[in-house]
Amino acid sequence: MNTRTYLICMLFLFPACMKSTPKPEMTAKEIAMPAPREEERVAAQSDDIAPAIASKVIQTANVSFETDAFNKCRVAVNDVIKKYGGQVTNEKQDKGEYSWRSETTAKVPANKLDSALNALEGIAGVFNEKTVNTEDVTKQYIDMDARMRTQQALEQRYLQLLQKAGTVGDMLEIEEKLSQVRAVIEAAKTNMKQIDDQVAYSTLTINYWQVMKNSSLRRPGFASQAWDSVKDGWDAIVATVLGLIAAWPFIIVAVIIFIFVRRWRKNRRLRKQVASHQ
């Protein structure tokens, strides 16, 4: 009797135990939640704690001027860049027959750009050209920051899910999503750092040149001019001969027509003379 009662109790308890067993599919469903809705939720949370972002303005400047002493000017320009905490990023020189030119590009702290420009004007005396451009990228920066914080919140959400993963498949799926989210975060950080660098350091381009004062270089002498005239005359003769060679078919046709017309007129005069004698 006791054995029968024990078996009956076991029959009732076994289904109850089966129902209380957790299903690993719940974690998979949680992982596969609609991404847009989840992003909206974490975006709303991150907006509540969004830090205030100062305006982001990128400045670029370009100046050009003429100098009487190229090497001295080059030293002075580099000294100005160093004095105001800048650094030369590129320098290109071109020394030709009539002028010596340089294009120097430098990065200068944005808060010292005006001082550097004033110092360069002291070297130049007068700028031939001066342009200063500004670009406000605050909105672009705010958008990047919001997207980065949204992805960071998603990253924390996936890390929580990873701790609750019940199967290897769930873990692999969460790891894949984490990799995608972290790639977006790193890209946003890189772009934001690039903007921060451009805002902190303005790009300054300096063009200056020296015109050669040696008259022999600027104006050819008589002998040189005479030789150039001889070459020009010879070139004209060669061009004429080549032109005649190229036009020989037309010349032959013109000669034939000329001979034909001349003979026709001569024969016509002879016929008139014979007719008048008769």
CA–CA gap between residue 171 and residue 15 (Å, rounded):
30
CA 272, distance to chain mean position in Å, is: 87
Quote the tokens at residue 162: 């990873």
CA–CA gap between residue 106 and residue 87 (Å, rounded):
5
**Can you tell me which residue has the tokens 């660098």?**
197
- pLDDT of 135 above 80: yes
DSSP string over 101-148: EEEEEEEEEGGGHHHHHHHHHHHHSS-SEEEEEEEE-HHHHHHHHHHH
Q: In 100-115, which positions are buried (b, 16+ CB within 10 angstroms) versus exposed (e)?
A: bbbebebbbeeebbee
Specify the range with the lowest mean pLDDT, choosing from 4-18, 63-77, 158-172: 4-18
- Please report the sign of the dihedral spanned by the C-alpha atoms of residue 116, residue 122, residue 124, residue 128: positive
This prediction has a pTM of: 0.59
CA 108, distance to chain mean position in Å, is: 20
DSSP 8-state assignment for residue 89 = E
What is the model's pLDDT at position 11? 45
End-to-end Cα separation, the chain, in angstroms: 173
- Mean pLDDT on 146-164: 92
Secondary structure of residue 219 in the 3-state scheme: coil
Cβ(66)–Cβ(126) below 8 Å: no
Cβ(154)–Cβ(181) below 8 Å: yes
CA–CA gap between residue 104 and residue 61 (Å, rounded):
12
What is the model's pLDDT at position 33? 53
pLDDT, tens only, 85-124: 999 999 999 998 889 999 999 999 999 999 999 999 999 9
